[in-house]
Structure 1
Amino acid sequence: MPTEEYVQEHLDRGTDRLGLQVYPEPDGVADAPVVVVWPAMGVRARYYRPLAASLRQAGLAPVVIDLRGTGASTPAPSRSSRYGYADLAADIGAVQEALKPRLDGRRRLVLGHSLGGQAALLHEALRPGDSTVDGVVLVAVGLPYWRTYPRRRLGVLAMTQSIGATSAVMRVWPGWSFGGRQASGVMRDWAHTARTGRFPHLDGVDVEAALREVRTPVLAISIDHDQYTPHETLDHLCAKLESAPLVRERHTIPGADHFTWVRDADGIAARVAEWSTTLP
């Protein structure tokens, strides 16, 4: 699948700026559903060019966002960065609002990969009854709760908590061998989910209770041989969505893992396009 060119745009969020990569509309499709892609931790938006090409081929209009502090989103995380999961969730709403002139009258999907998928669900949980999204797609997402891993559980616990502790002491995660450079608040919240299997309270909201009330349709896809979010971690996350219309699937992509599925995403893109036709 060839890669695609895009138009780089930006959205200011206080002292931070988000980078948006807007791809051309799919050929011959009027009012195509818009899919806003939110990446994994530390992964630049440009990595998703093959996925954008697959989505366009399937008749969808992709926009890919750089998470705060990554790629075209600036500044890079530092000791002065104060954001965490609540801010990542709020960024999703801000981008949906900024894209509103292009979204009106069209189906609006958010596709989250790994941390991007967590943020997408948190956005829905923190905005009850006020969603700007018609459907959420989770691909290779999971809550990294150490007890859900079929193997190396204690290793997962040790790694996640040491990263959380290092981030707290250094007031930033330098990105040593995992996740890229990240704000300490992001790693604090991530380590909490790995330790407890639950999201922390965010902005005074009991996120676990709020997730039980989310009613936005969700398509949740896990990938065989995913070393970071195996099937069980997504099952654990999906169990929190007691009210959402949920479609849970496991996909096999030969040779793919947590990251490389993006390079061979035609099947997933076609499935997302098919599922989008079922949304209100």
Structure 2
Amino acid sequence: MPNKNAAPVTSAQFRIPVAAGGAVAGTLRTPTEGLPVGAVVIHSATAVAQRLYSGFAEYLAGNGLAVLTYDYRGIGASGSPKRNRHLRMRDWMEQDVPAVTEWMAGRFPGLPQLAVGHSLGGQALVLGNGTEDLAGFVTVASHGGVTRAVEVRGERIRVELLLRVVGPLCARLLGFAPARRLGLGEDMPGTAVLEWGGWSRKPGYFFDDPGMHAAERAARVKTDVLAIGISDDLWATTAQIGPFFSHLVNAHVEQRIYTPVDVGVPAIGHMGFFRRGMKDKLWPDILDWLKDRAGFQESGKQPA
């Protein structure tokens, strides 16, 4: 069983170029003592800065993995949303995700490559972005983001306010959507929120967008997948998770649904999995799964 008491971690900042233009700001964490046994990229949720994943990344790195977190272009430390107003959500998935995946593989060429995707980050992986050489990937709260599937009326109204009213208006007038003021993450490039709003109206989300070729791309994914859902997630409801991952017809998919009762907390929600309070409650399961895919043995040696 891997040690769950994380050891010291070394952290370094990088600018990682994206072939289509620009760069993303990333933070690489590695074990201070000993060599890592696997390399993990954490792909963020929509409009979520990498700082949310700091504790989780430190935990994984302290238990023997090299871990990269980063901000999509136009989010957080990767540039102004206004200056990146032209970026679409598909650009994050099809350009940023493969760019950081390739960078990580180049930095640790001898290690098993793995990924963790939160919400949008998991959607990108389901579409096969950067998954060709992965030993496996984990998704957390990834789903078909159809607005009408948000069951709690107040939350549905708040999301629709961003995607139907404030977002489109500000995108056209200002070049960005003020998601932060609505409590929905970081401000977003205008074109991204317009695309998000369009997909959210379709019953199958981007699987109903002919230009995405989403079903064909998902069918090409052949690695191991751990799809995690949270029972009190107002967005990624358990009813949406199953149909979304049914498109991975050639991958080995394991689904796990965690409830607040399971871990003795009052709530988890869409973001709570990555809060530091989950360190001893939820993170060990993911660490074990990732290390298993990396071929970790109790001796700490890689299999021949």
Q: Same fold (TM over 0.5)?
A: yes
Matched, 1:82 2:94: no
How far off is 1:48 after superposition? Answer: 1.6
Report the equivalent of 1:95: 100
Structure 1 stretch displaced more, 226-235 or 167-176: 167-176
Would the alpha carbon gap of residues 141 and 204 (structure 1) be closer, same or farther in structure 2, given more than 3 Å must change? closer
How far off is 1:191 after superposition? Answer: 1.8
User: Match for 2:23: what amino acid?
Assistant: R
Task: Output the CA distance in 2 between the equivalents of 1:208 and 1:157.
Answer: 26
Report the equivalent of 1:43: 48
User: Match for 2:82: what amino acid?
Assistant: S
Would the alpha carbon gap of residues 246 and 116 (structure 1) be closer, same or farther in structure 2, given more than 3 Å must change? same
Report the equivalent of 2:302: none
User: Match for 2:194: what amino acid?
Assistant: R
Task: Output the CA distance in 2 between the equivalents of 1:232 and 1:156.
Answer: 21
Task: Output the CA distance in 2 between the equivalents of 1:85 and 1:256.
Answer: 26
Can you list the C-alpha shifts for 1:111-161, whole angstroms capped at 9, x where unaligned? Answer: 111222222323x1x67xx71322221012222213434443974784443
Would the alpha carbon gap of residues 189 and 7 (structure 1) be closer, same or farther in structure 2, given more than 3 Å must change? same
Alignment of 1:101-116 (within 5 A): 101-116=106-121
How far off is 1:163 after superposition? Answer: 5.2
Alignment of 1:1-280 (within 5 A): 6-13=11-18, 14-25=20-31, 27-28=33-34, 30-74=35-79, 76-78=80-82, 81-89=85-93, 90-122=95-127, 124=128, 131-152=132-153, 155=157, 158-159=160-161, 160-162=163-165, 165-166=168-169, 169-170=172-173, 171-175=175-179, 176-177=181-182, 178-196=184-202, 197-199=204-206, 204-252=211-259, 253=263, 254=265, 255-262=267-274, 263=276, 264-276=278-290, 277-278=292-293
Would the alpha carbon gap of residues 149 and 26 (structure 1) be closer, same or farther in structure 2, given more than 3 Å must change? farther
User: Match for 1:82: what amino acid?
Assistant: H
TM-score by length of 1: 0.83
Task: Output the CA distance in 1 between the equivalents of 2:201 and 2:285.
Answer: 33
Task: Output the CA distance in 2 between the equivalents of 1:209 and 1:155.
Answer: 33
Structure 1 runs not aligned, ≥5 long: none
Q: Is the 8 A contact 1:6 1:21 kept in 2?
A: yes
How far off is 1:221 after superposition? Answer: 0.5
User: Match for 1:77: what amino acid?
Assistant: P
RMSD over aligned CA atoms reads 3.0
Identity of aligned residues (%): 25
Task: Output the CA distance in 1 between the equivalents of 2:280 and 2:64.
Answer: 11
Can you list the C-alpha shifts for 1:22-55, whole angstroms capped at 9, x where unaligned? Answer: 0122644x44111111122222212222111221
Count of residue pairs brought into register by the alignment: 274
3-state SS of 1:19 partner: strand
Task: Output the CA distance in 2 between the equivalents of 1:102 and 1:139.
Answer: 25
Q: Is the 8 A contact 1:164 1:187 kept in 2?
A: yes
Report the equivalent of 2:299: none
Would the alpha carbon gap of residues 220 and 173 (structure 1) be closer, same or farther in structure 2, given more than 3 Å must change? same
How far off is 1:203 after superposition? Answer: 10
How far off is 1:103 after superposition? Answer: 2.7
Q: Is the 8 A contact 2:145 2:205 kept in 1?
A: no
3-state SS of 2:250 partner: coil
Q: Highest Rg: 1 or 2?
A: 2
